[in-house]
Structure 1
Amino acid sequence: MEKKEMQHKDIVAELARRLERGEADVEALADGFASLLKEHCGALETVAVPGFGKFEGEKLMERVEVDSASGRRMLYPPEIRMTFVPGTRLKTRIAEKGEAGDE
């Protein structure tokens, strides 16, 4: 089976269809959610969505690495990374969907 990758426009169109809302409304909701994640995860807070999972901001400290080709030492600045931890309900639903597709 070939893997399919949904792009942003595909997700917006599918959600608009399922929710019977306009694509502009869904786009505004998606932008608002992304802004909320940026704000809270950027402040190293957790955003929990019951039944779905949680988004967490994690700070990576600055580090020095050596370039293997040139031997030069390079200083990388600190950065904030966002991770997603799926909730139990989401994992269960995905597993059930996979089992249904195995038949």
Structure 2
Amino acid sequence: MDNRTFIDKIAERTGRSREEISDLTESLGVIVAEAIKDGDIVAIPSVGTFEPKLRAERITIHPSSGKKMLIPPKLTINFKPSSLLKQKIR
């Protein structure tokens, strides 16, 4: 499902305008990103939990040149679906 279809479906279900829903989804994304950047866990009821994870630095080998490279640590996001979401999918 693309973003436009997602916004249309939410607008249809809630009776709100597309612009309101578009602003809401954009704000949700910004808030979740800021919270993850600050190291907070974000739980969205009936959907799941977004949790920041710090990947440690590691050494890897470039496949074509065979040179060893150091990959710096980076922050990634781990998503755990809620049990309610898992039940709805099954």
Q: Same fold (TM over 0.5)?
A: yes
Structure 2 counterpart of 1:35: 30
Confirm or deny that 1:85 pairs with 2:80.
yes
The residue type equivalent to 1:70 in the other structure is S
Which deviations, in whole Å up to 9, do the C-alpha atoms of 1:3-61 show, x marking residues without a partner?
xxx01111111111111111111111111110111111122221012222111111112
Confirm or deny that 1:62 pairs with 2:31.
no
Same amino acid, percent of matched pairs: 28
TM-score (norm 1): 0.79
SS in 1 for 2:11: helix
Flag structure 2 segments of 5+ consecutive residues without an equivalent.
none
Superposed CA RMSD: 1.3
TM-score (norm 2): 0.89
The answer (yes or no) to whether the contact 1:46–1:54 under 8 Å persists in 2 is yes
* Count of matched residue pairs: 90
SS in 2 for 1:70: coil
Which deviations, in whole Å up to 9, do the C-alpha atoms of 1:77-97 show, x marking residues without a partner?
2211112111111111221xx
- Cα distance between partner residues in 2 of 1:8 and 1:77: 32
Structure 2 counterpart of 1:3: none
The residue type equivalent to 1:43 in the other structure is D
The answer (yes or no) to whether the contact 1:44–1:59 under 8 Å persists in 2 is no
Flag structure 1 segments of 5+ consecutive residues without an equivalent.
1-5, 96-103
